[in-house]
């Protein structure tokens, strides 16, 4: 079933729901006029529908493979990559100083969703590069910026991020990769990294690895880590790929999904690297890349959800089975199938709105320097990542269910969405780690950023009472319940917060979802049925989630390993 880029939906969410007009009103993003946004979304949409979507199945059936130390990518991926780079889509948000388009993150995030819906395993490649460009823009020396960023933007070279090791996953601070000063300003990096997305390919002139490693005098834990640029080919005096660096791909993983994306074990043997940022301050630099990637991965969840929904709706409209109360025979008219499709659409809308609201906050933080906008972006990032990817999984799961037995058969493509979505809740910081970030670092302000957002939701709901009293009343009450839950949360000690982190994050997303659906229903009356579905059937879950959150840690630890095993 062909993918249809939801261009008008993006326009609606950006214009009517998440306040993109504020971004376009800033001096920095003055070029992002409605006409430019429309033109960019339409152009990217065409590429996704015609060039990238047809690659998705090929990537699944013919995974990337390692041949004599070189990664051979899936059929058509090189051409697909070239089309992405020729369109300038890698450097959309990058600074014009180095050849980027300087467009807002809100627009880049929308385009990334479409590329991810079309072919998620290929989209991971430019996503990693985009994160690397941002990290270099903020933390690299001028010489590194001038050499690397233009080539990354043009797509001539690709970027990767290397954090994970066998003994250092969620606990990055446990890493053992070493770096030593060579005495000439460069460093020798030695160690093994695992699970490195697009660790190599056969279509870029160079692969630029950003690698976390510890110098001999680096303190234990995350405080003693430094970040290095370690290219596959060491640039020569003219900046062209020169001598081969001492690094390589040891093996590629056999994965549940995302077969077109090579996930590599990388070995560094005294490989030459250049410091990014300051010694021992690598985590700060890597966080720039990770925050970018967290929003990007959240949008990957939305991307899968949109594609899975389109598939399921088409199938449900064609498939005839039994008699329905509406007299017709297509399964879309069975109440339970309608419920599943309604849930898929409502969740996709909410997850997209949350991710785009986060992107708008990033843009506003950059354009105005406002600490409040920056805090809003920081607060929304873990929610956008965790809820977006959980919804990618749940919507893809429902997509299989709508297909019945055919959902379990690979030809329909419904199963691939489910397999591809699974890892999005795991990589880029598991969703449990995202939730702990929300209740920990993001509440270090005592909940101030959360309260500001909840106040806006309540104010909007109060205004909306005049038009949609029932729905607005529910949203107001849910926001108030979340405010009380937040007051309780910030008064708890760390492990009690952590024990309730996942339900709290989901409750927050439920309230945000209700809010954005209410906004949509006010802007366009034809959206009221979907808003009512979300507010009456999905949002009430927040009460049960808050009750779970309030249970704290003690009850969890009462489930001893012995009790679990008995």
Ligand X SMILES: Cc1cc2nc3c(=O)[nH]c(=O)nc-3n(C[C@H](O)[C@H](O)[C@H](O)COP(=O)(O)OP(=O)(O)OC[C@H]3O[C@@H](n4cnc5c(N)ncnc54)[C@H](O)[C@@H]3O)c2cc1C
**Contacting residues toward ligand X, per CB under 6 A:** 161-164, 169-170, 195-197, 255, 258, 263, 423, 426-430, 432-433
Q: Min. distance of Cβ 195 from ligand X in angstroms?
A: 3
Task: For ligand X, give the closer residue by CB, 337 or 433.
Answer: 433
Nearer to ligand X, 111 or 436 (CB): 436
Which residues, 6 or more positions from 65, have their beta carbon under 8 angstroms from its beta carbon? 71, 72, 252
**Measured distance CA(326)–CA(305) in Å, rounded:** 28
Q: Which is nearer to ligand X, 413 or 429 (CB)?
A: 429
Residue least distant from ligand X (Cβ)? 169
State the DSSP H helix or E strand holding residue 3, giving kind and residue range, or none if neither.
none
Token pair for 379: 């607060």
- Distance of closest approach, residue 521 Cβ to ligand X, in angstroms: 36
Distance between CA 164 and CA 423 in Å, rounded? 15
Exactly one of 113, 165, 306, 428 is catalytic; name it: 428
Which residues lie below 8 Å from residue 357, measured CB to CB, with a gap of 6+?
17, 18, 19, 380, 512, 516
Rounded to a whole number of angstroms, the minimum distance from the CB of residue 478 to ligand X is 27
Q: Which residue has the tokens 């003219």?
A: 238
**Helices of type H across 163-257:** none
C-beta closer to ligand X: residue 164 or 291: 164
To ligand X, the closest distance from the beta carbon of 211 in angstroms equals 9
Three-class secondary structure assignment of 63-104? CCEEECCEEECCCCHHHHHHHHHHCCCCCCCCCHHHCCCCCC
Angle between helix 77-86 and 120-139 (nearest 10)? 40
Least distance to ligand X, CB of residue 484, Å: 25
What is the distance between the alpha carbons of residues 236 and 241, in angstroms, rounded to a whole number? 6
Residue 428 among the catalytic residues? yes
- Per DSSP, helices labelled H in 403-500 are 414-422, 431-439, 448-464, 469-490, 494-499
**Angular region, 322: left φ>0, alpha ψ -120 to 50, beta rest:** left
- Residue 261 or 486: the one with the smaller Cβ distance to ligand X is 261
Which tokens belong to 526?
């034809």
Rounded CA separation 300/431 (Å): 14
CB of 351 to ligand X, least distance (A): 20
Q: Give the CA-trace dihedral at 510, 543, 394, 1, to 10 degrees.
A: -50
CB atoms within 10 A of CB 16: 17
Q: Pairing mode, if any, of strands 206-214 and 157-162?
A: parallel
- Listed in sequence order, the DSSP H helices in 261-370 are 282-318, 335-368
Comparison of 170 and 182: residue with beta carbon closer to ligand X: 170
> What SS3 class is residue 255?
coil
Nearer to ligand X, 286 or 545 (CB): 286
Supply the residues annotated as catalytic.
428
């Amino acid at each position: 079933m062909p993918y249809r880029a939801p261009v008008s939906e993006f326009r609606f969410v950006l214009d009517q729901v998440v306040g993109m007009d504020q971004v376009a009103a800033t001096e920095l993003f003055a070029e992002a006029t409605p006409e430019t946004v429309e033109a960019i979304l339409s152009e990217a949409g065409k590429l996704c529908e015609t060039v990238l979507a047809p690659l998705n199945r090929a990537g699944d059936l013919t995974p990337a493979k390692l041949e004599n130390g070189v990664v051979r990518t899936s059929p058509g991926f090189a051409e697909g990559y070239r089309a992405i780079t020729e369109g300038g889509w890698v450097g959309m948000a990058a600074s014009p100083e180095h050849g980027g388009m300087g467009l807002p993150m809100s627009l880049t995030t929308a385009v990334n969703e479409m590329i991810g819906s079309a072919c998620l395993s290929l989209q991971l490649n430019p996503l990693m590069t985009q994160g690397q460009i941002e990290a270099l823009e903020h933390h690299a020396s001028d010489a590194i910026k001038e050499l690397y960023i233009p080539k990354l933007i043009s797509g001539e070279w690709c970027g990767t991020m290397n954090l994970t090791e066998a003994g250092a996953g969620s606990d990055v601070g446990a890493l053992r990769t070493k770096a030593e000063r060579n005495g000439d300003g460069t460093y020798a990096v030695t160690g093994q990294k695992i699970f490195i997305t697009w660790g190599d390919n056969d279509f870029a002139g160079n692969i630029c690895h950003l690698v976390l490693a510890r110098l001999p005098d680096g303190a234990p834990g995350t405080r003693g880590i430094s970040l290095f640029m370690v290219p596959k080919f060491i640039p020569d005096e003219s900046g062209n790929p020169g001598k081969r660096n001492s690094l390589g791909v040891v093996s590629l993983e056999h994965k549940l999904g995302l077969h077109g994306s090579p996930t590599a074990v990388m070995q560094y043997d005294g490989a030459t690297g250049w410091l990014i940022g300051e010694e021992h301050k690598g985590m700060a630099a890597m966080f720039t890349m990770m925050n970018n990637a967290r929003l990007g991965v959240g949008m990957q969840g939305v991307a899968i959800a949109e594609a899975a929904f389109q598939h399921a709706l088409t199938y449900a409209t064609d498939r005839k089975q039994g008699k329905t109360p509406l007299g017709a025979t297509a399964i879309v008219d069975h109440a339970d199938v309608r419920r599943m499709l309604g849930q898929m659409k409502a969740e996709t809308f909410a997850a997209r709105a949350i991710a785009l609201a986060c992107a708008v906050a990033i843009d506003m933080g950059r354009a105005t320097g406002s600490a409040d906008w920056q805090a809003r972006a920081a607060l929304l990032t873990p929610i956008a990542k965790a809820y977006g990817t959980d919804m990618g999984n749940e919507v893809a799961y429902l997509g299989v269910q709508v297909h019945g037995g055919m959902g379990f058969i690979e030809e329909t493509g419904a199963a691939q969405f489910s397999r591809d979505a699974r890892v999005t809740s795991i990589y880029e910081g598991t969703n449990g780690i995202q939730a702990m970030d929300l209740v920990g670092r993001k509440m270090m302000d005592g909940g101030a950023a959360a309260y500001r957002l909840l106040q806006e939701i309540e104010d909007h709901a109060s205004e909306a009472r005049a038009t949609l009293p029932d729905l607005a009343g529910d949203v107001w009450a849910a926001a108030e319940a979340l405010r009380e839950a937040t007051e309780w949360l910030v008064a708890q000690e760390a492990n009690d917060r952590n024990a309730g982190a996942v339900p709290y994050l989901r409750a927050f997303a439920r309230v945000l979802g209700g809010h954005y659906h209410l906004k949509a229903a006010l802007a366009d009356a034809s959206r009221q049925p979907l808003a009512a579905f979300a507010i009456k059937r999905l949002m009430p879950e927040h009460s049960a989630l808050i009750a779970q959150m309030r249970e704290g840690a003690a009850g969890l630890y009462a489930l001893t390993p012995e009790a679990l095993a008995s």
